[in-house]
Amino acid sequence: MDDSATVTLNPDARDRLESLEARVEQFGTGFWSGVRHGSGISQLREFLVEIGRPAHYRRIRLLARVRQLLAETYAHAGYSASAIEQARISLLLSKTAFAEKEKPHDLEQFAKTALIASQSHLLRYEPKLSAHYLDLYRDATSRISRSPGGEYFRQRGVVAFESGKDADSAALHSFSQAMTTLAETVEFGRAKQRFEVLNIGTRQMNLLGQINWEGAQELLEYMVTTLPSGDIHIPMNANWAAACGFSTDSPSANAAASDMLDRYRQSAVGFGHQATVMWLLSLSPALPLQLRADWVRRALYENTFKDY
């Protein structure tokens, strides 16, 4: 393996580094088990201590990866400010590693981290800042001749969604493009599963244009029967389905949406953003009917833990 032009690894140091790299990637394969309540953060911080202050490009790359995993954990747990902080550090580290060896891998990781930063800004209702990181993602993938992935188009859709109803047609286009792109994606020899494709576009599209309350309920039922009970996609889809119900003028749909939130309340515990959305949506019946559609749109991207 190549060494840095200025720093070399002796055999023992290389063995220790390779062992640490393997442990970090093993953690990465079970990433979701450490998301709820941020339970994986302590292990990731232990990795930081082991890495220390690296000079060799491989250790810099590894540090970027750990910071990326921290950012992603914080983002999904709902701690947006911490996610952005870790993502920024990871971006700088990946940029440094790339400058050292110009390996495409480092730009791939840079692009992935940019998506995490973008998503974290979306959960703070900051679409313009999100768009900045999406531009970084687009430019990084273009430099290594890669096409943008489905998540990029999903987040472009959210940027449009958060920009107001006048941008709904752009949002619909981006969500549709996200589904098409993800459906054609194969990673690690595996095609994307149906629930992943539906979640990246249909979930949001049910709320845009003509409200598809029936479709939203069907999608939630599919997620509940397909996924394990602790999966984050269940409260996510419960929230969006309830938002569809509250966006209609049907008393029965409004009542069913309230029941839905009660039924899946526990599924959101430990996921800060989802828990925030679920609580805010539960207040919808107290609002005048003419305010509810605007209220749920705003509630879907609020996050009590955004400053943590």
How many domains does the structure of the chain reveal? 3
Listed residues 146, 164, 196: the one ending a domain: 146
Of 304, 176, 168, nearest to 247 (Cα)? 168
Q: Are residues 184 and 228 in the same domain?
A: no
| Domain housing 78 | 10-146
- CA 263 to chain CA centroid, Å, is 24
Strand partners, 236: none
pLDDT attached to residue 6: 53
Helix, strand, or coil (residue 191): strand
Is the distance from CB of 174 to CB of 156 less than 8 angstroms?
yes
- Element spanning 252, H or E: helix 251-263
Residue 285 lies in a domain: yes
* Beta carbons within 8 Å of 230's beta carbon, 6+ residues apart: 36, 267
Q: Is 216 a member of any domain? A: no
Q: Tens-of-pLDDT digits for all 308 residues of the chain? A: 344 445 677 888 888 999 999 999 999 999 888 888 889 999 999 999 999 999 899 999 999 999 999 999 999 988 999 999 999 999 999 999 999 989 999 999 999 999 999 999 999 999 999 999 999 999 999 999 999 999 999 999 999 999 999 999 999 999 999 999 999 998 888 999 999 999 999 999 999 989 999 999 999 999 999 999 999 999 999 999 999 999 999 999 999 999 999 999 999 999 999 999 999 999 999 999 999 999 999 999 999 988 89
Does residue 214 form part of some domain? no
β-bridge partners, 191: 186
d(CA 269, CA 171) in angstroms, rounded, equals: 29
Residue 244 is assigned to a structural domain of this protein = yes
Q: What is the pLDDT of residue 218?
A: 98
Q: Give the CA dihedral 104, 110, 111, 113, nearest 10 degrees.
A: 150
Same domain, 119 and 244: no
Which residues are within 8 A (CB) of 144 and not within 5 positions of it... i.e. 6 or more apart?
Answer: 104, 107, 108
**Token pair for 160:** 């449009």
d(CA 262, CA 252): 15
Q: In Å, what is the CA distance from 51 to each residue of 6, 76, 210?
A: 18, 24, 52
190 beta partners: 187
Do 58 and 165 lie in a common domain? no
51 plus 134 within the same structural domain: yes
| CATH code for the domain of 73 | 1.25.40
Kindly state whether residue 136 falls inside one of the protein's structural domains: yes
CA distance 219 to 212: 11
pTM: 0.90
* C-beta neighbour count of 165 within 10 angstroms: 12
3-state secondary structure of 307: coil
Give yes or no: residues 141 and 234 share one domain.
no
Tokens of 96: 């440094």
